[in-house]
Amino acid sequence: MQIIADNIKWILLLAGCLTGTMLFAALLPREALYSMFGESLQEGPPGEVVVRNWGH
């Protein structure tokens, strides 16, 4: 338990950075999909909703 208390700053910083990366998918779904999977998004709103959902 002491190791967590000693390193809580770094643990929280890492968790915040990982959480912030999903903001990319919420704001730019086409670019996020291409970045993660190398595929382009199907035309239309349903595809954008799915990728944005992954970002949340």
Q: How far apart, in whole angstroms, are the C-alpha atoms of residue 9 and residue 19?
A: 15
The domain containing residue 55 runs over which residues? 20-56
Q: How many domains, in total, are found in the chain?
A: 1
**What is residue 13's predicted lDDT score, i.e. its pLDDT?**
96
| Domain-located, residue 10 | no
**What is residue 12's predicted lDDT score, i.e. its pLDDT?**
96
| Domain-located, residue 31 | yes
Mean pLDDT by runs of 10 across the 56 residues of the chain is 93 91 80 76 67 63
Question: What's phi and psi for 45, nearest 5 deg?
Answer: -65, -35
